[in-house]
Amino acid sequence: MITLEHSILEAIRSLPPDKQREILEHANQFRNSPLKKPRKSGRGLWAGLQISLPAEHIDQLRREI
């Protein structure tokens, strides 16, 4: 079974040196960029606001849409 790493290496080896340098630059940018925090869901954003939406209200809004 061919691994992802092996496939990437084979693809890079088939490129000319200038393109290999470009890929290296991009890889370094990925490596050095901070990891993004996952976004909160709408429920997570509203959790501290103590908003209550009854199911009937949500159903009515869906019908209107």
List pLDDT tens digits, range 1-30.
889 999 999 999 999 999 999 999 999 998
The residue type of 23 is I
Domain that holds residue 22: 1-33
- pLDDT score, position 32: 87
Residue 21 lies in a domain: yes
CA distance to 4, 15, 18, 39, 51, per residue, from 10 (Å): 10, 9, 16, 35, 54
Residue 25 lies in a domain: yes
Distance CA 57, CA 65 (A): 13
Residue 26 lies in a domain: yes
- pLDDT score, position 37: 76
Q: Which of 12-16, 34-38, 41-45, 55-59 has the lowest mean pLDDT?
A: 41-45
Average pLDDT over residues 30-42: 77
Residue 45 lies in a domain: no
Residue 47 lies in a domain: no
Contact 53, 62 (CB under 8 A): no
Residue 63 lies in a domain: no
Residue 46 lies in a domain: no
**Which segments of the chain are extended strands (E)?**
none
